[in-house]
Amino acid sequence: MTDHVAIDQSTNQTERAQNCLDPAGVQRTHSLRSLICSWPNLIGIVILVTVACAFYISPVRYLSDSGFSLLMDEALIHKSTPDMLDYQVPRGHGGVFINDGYPWNIKIIKGRLLYVYPWGSSLLSLPAVALFNTGGLKIASRESGYSYNWYNELRMQVLIATGVCALTIWIVYVAAARFLPLPWSLAIAFATAFGTSFWSSASRSLWPQTWAALLLMAAIWILLSSSNRPFLLGTLLAWSCLTRPTMIPQVAGVAVYILIGYDRRFVLRCAAGGLCSLTPVCAMMLFFTGGLFSVAYPSVLFDFPYQFWVRLYGVLLSPSRGFLVFSPVVAVPLYLVIRYWRVLPDRGLAILGLVNIGLYIIMLCSYLAWWGGNSYGPRLMLEVVPWFVVLAILGLRAFEADGTVTVAQRLSIICIAALSLALSIATNAPGALVQYSINWKSYDEDHLGVLWDWHDPQFLCWIQRLQR
């Protein structure tokens, strides 16, 4: 017994001596323990893993605009060039082969075979592709004569998209948990994950919106938490533009918000972070493609105000592309923000969110291909979902603090929110679970009537699947 006491005393003295020598190490250990052991953080980890598993096991997977984007990464890794001319890629005539016999997403530019969509998503995925290649998973190996293997690219894209989307939902939860009780934080994370296009589109393939939504959500988290990380904020905003040039108006709105609400030092460091990312990537794009961001989005694709109101109806209420049809749950934060406008905890950020949502909808309604091509639901509206998360957090914070609401009123609002969430999940589920959902109808620019057909909306495609 005496020996044990002596050993314990000796151990304690040693630990105290080490603590005096390395107080920073003790602080790091304490921080790590508190991070791991706190319930909210443990729940956050569970959400991250659960959402990742749910997204990964959902059976619908496909290659679309992002096809060949990871092949470009392999070209960069193994040949130090984005040129894919040395690879054996599919060629044909008609249909999707519209670029001199090549598919729509790659094209001969300045004598090189290049990916035509923004390169931001490809560059951000580069470390993951390098890791896959190290593990033996390659899209076009030397042993195969550099022949393109679409299935291997699909496998890579699904893994990356799953991880990126799950990380986005985790940030949503962390942001909500900072201001709201646990049940509301879980509800916002769950609604974002399964009641929007994250489940039905962003996690099904590595769309440019997949990375853009993560970057925007991370930037919003910095603004919400009043974190002093201007360089990181500028970097995130810059990369969101590099993944989706349509993010530029939103980033401009954030820039105005920062100029008004932050000091000069913060603004300069934020601008420095953005320029450090934009300058080299835009220079590379300009050298190889002749454009700063992408050759796939020429200005002629925007024709405001031609058919603006028809497109606005389609963007919001089309039975196969309407944002409010597929995600009616987004009406709840709008209602709460309007109801509690005078007592919102951060009206400036709410104004920024509403302005950016409005600007993006106007831009989308000015776009010739406003329906998003061959995809499921309102995929193009995914870029404003993070702003609805902001509105939900602010609105629910005010709702929680409202002591004048009766129990009956509170229950009514909660029941309506739960019903809208259930409908949102039901309309988005086919995009992730029903293989027939993407090609439920054959349509092109001359046959867009199917997007307005309430007798056979896209979210009911599973009925035809059962009949077959």
In the chain, domain spans: 69-156, 182-467
- Look at residue 451 and tell me whether its pLDDT is greater than 90: no
Position with higher pLDDT, 450 vs 359:
359
- Three-class HEC string of the chain: CHHHHHHHHHHHHHHHHHHHHCHHHHHHHHHHHHHHHCHHHHHHHHHHHHHHHHHHHCCCCCCCCCCCHHHHHHHHHHHCCCCCCCCECCCCCECCECECCECCCEEEECCEEEECCCCHHHHHHHHHHHHHHHCCCCCCCCCCCCECCHHHHHHHHHHHHHHHHHHHHHHHHHHHHHHCCHHHHHHHHHHHHHCCHHHHHHCCCCCHHHHHHHHHHHHHHHHHHCCCCHHHHHHHHHHHHHHCHHHHHHHHHHHHHHHHHCCHHHHHHHHHHHHHHHHHHHHHHHHHHCCCCCCCCCHHHECCCCCHHHHHHHHHHCCCCCHHHHCHHHHHHHHHHHHCHHHCCCHHHHHHHHHHHHHHHHHHHCECCCCCCCCCCCHHHHHHHHHHHHHHHHHHHHHHHCCCCCHHHHHHHHHHHHHHHHHHHHHHHHHHHCHHHCCCCCCCCCCHHHHHCCCCCHHHHHHHHHHC
Mean pLDDT value across the chain: 88
Position with higher pLDDT, 369 vs 19:
369
> Model pTM?
0.88
User: What's the pLDDT score for residue 452?
Assistant: 87
- Look at residue 57 and tell me whether its pLDDT is greater than 60: yes
Least confident span in 161-165, 317-321, 387-391: 317-321
Least confident span in 149-153, 172-176, 365-369, 445-449: 445-449
- Look at residue 1 and tell me whether its pLDDT is greater than 50: no
User: What's the pLDDT score for residue 450?
Assistant: 80
- Look at residue 346 and tell me whether its pLDDT is greater than 50: yes
User: What's the pLDDT score for residue 460?
Assistant: 85
> Could you report the per-residue pLDDT of 241-275, keeping only the tens digit for each?
999 999 999 999 999 999 998 999 999 999 999 99
In the chain, % of residues over pLDDT 70: 89
User: What's the pLDDT score for residue 3?
Assistant: 42
User: What's the pLDDT score for residue 465?
Assistant: 58
User: What's the pLDDT score for residue 226?
Assistant: 82
